[in-house]
């Protein structure tokens, strides 16, 4: 009986959490148009979330692409169709690996930074101070960070995919000796605009999800050292699960 009550309790708790996250998202959306007038703030956050994540994204993209090239070549040459390597690597990167791996790295690199920054602001009473000066912290601090993340994410995913394709080309063509012409022409023949669109839609949705989770965890962090640490951890864990869950949903919707 007790276990049942605890189960019910945790169920209602998580529903309550979900509700408050969605309410927070609505608040951010309502505040977004006005925040767009202070574009310098958003631009600074695009720099923080995007430009500073560029190195890790490009390096990971290169290695993911190279692994794809190697694995893809090994698998395809068993069927004597290693020319399809370009097609396999491009579709894999553009539709799946680009958005998903970028979002996971984004959660680890930018999401944690956002959450701990906001959490520390909360812990050091900077947010309360803003409220006392009649500055809306949501408007001034949270929304620019959220929008910066949402804008940066699709761009990062696109960069990841392009570097990945070149990584696959590097291994497949330069090392394994697949013909460069058929590598690119088979890719062009089979990748459609719909595939690219799917990748862009995915990365946009992941961008919203990751940024939302990060700013939510940071903004509502318990104002202690431990609370900030927990907010950062939860940001990564929740983002990873939500990204993979959403990935399944979006893929199913696109098929």
Partner 1 sequence: MGKSRTLNLGTGTFVLLGFAALFFLTTQTTSRGLPFMSPPHYDLTAKFDNVGDLKVGSPVSMSGVEIGRVTKIDFDESDFKAVVVLRINAKYSQIPTDSDASIYTQGLLGGKFIGLTAGGADTYLKDKDQIDFTQSAFVLENLIGQVLANFTKSKADAPAADAAPAPAPADSKAAGKPKAAEKTK
What residue ranges bind partner 1 (CB under 8 A)?
43-44, 46-47, 50-51, 54, 81, 90, 94, 151-152, 154-156, 158-159, 161-162, 165, 185, 187-193, 195-196, 199-200
Q: What angle do CA 4, 6, 7 make, to 5 degrees?
A: 65
Give the separation between CA 164 and CA 170, rounded to whole angstroms.
10
Q: By C-beta, is 73 or 216 nearer to partner 1?
A: 73
d(CA 96, CA 62): 15
Q: Which is nearer to partner 1, 18 or 55 (CB)?
A: 55
Residue 157 CB, nearest approach to partner 1 (Å): 9
189 versus 249: smaller Cβ distance to partner 1: 189
Picking from 251, 242, 245, 247, the residue whose alpha carbon sits closest to that of residue 209 is: 242
In the complex, least distance from residue 11 CB atom to partner 1, rounded to whole angstroms: 41
8 Å CB contact between 69 and 172: yes
CA distance 127 to 138: 9
Please report how close the Cβ of residue 1 comes to partner 1 at its closest, in angstroms: 56
As a whole number of angstroms, the distance between CA 100 and CA 105 comes to 9
Q: For residues 71 and 190, which CB has a smaller minimum distance to partner 1 in the complex?
A: 190
What's the min distance (Å) between Cβ of 197 and partner 1?
Answer: 9
């Amino acid at each position: 009986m007790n276990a049942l009550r605890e189960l019910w309790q945790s169920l209602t708790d998580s529903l309550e959490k979900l509700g408050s996250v969605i309410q927070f998202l609505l608040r951010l959306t309502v505040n977004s148009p006005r925040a767009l007038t202070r574009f310098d703030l958003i631009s600074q956050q695009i720099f923080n979330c995007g430009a500073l994540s560029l190195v890790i994204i490009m390096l990971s993209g290169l290695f993911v692409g190279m692994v794809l090239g190697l694995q893809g070549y090994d698998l395809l040459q068993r069927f004597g169709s290693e020319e399809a390597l370009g097609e396999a690597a491009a579709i894999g990167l553009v539709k799946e690996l680009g958005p998903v791996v970028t979002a996971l790295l984004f959660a680890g690199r930018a999401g944690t930074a956002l959450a701990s920054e906001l959490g520390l602001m909360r812990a050091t009473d900077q947010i309360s101070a803003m409220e006392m000066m009649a500055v809306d912290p949501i408007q001034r601090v949270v929304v620019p960070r959220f929008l910066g993340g949402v804008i940066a994410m699709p761009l990062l995913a696109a960069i990841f995919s392009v570097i990945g394709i070149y990584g696959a080309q590097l291994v497949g063509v330069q090392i394994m000796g697949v013909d460069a012409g058929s590598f690119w022409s088979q890719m062009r023949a089979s990748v459609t605009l719909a595939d690219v669109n799917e990748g862009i839609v995915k990365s946009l949705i992941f961008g919203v999800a990751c940024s939302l989770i990060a700013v939510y965890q940071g903004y509502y962090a318990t104002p202690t050292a431990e609370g900030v640490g927990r907010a950062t951890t939860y940001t990564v864990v929740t983002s990873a699960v939500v990204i993979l869950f959403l990935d399944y949903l979006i893929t199913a919707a696109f098929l």
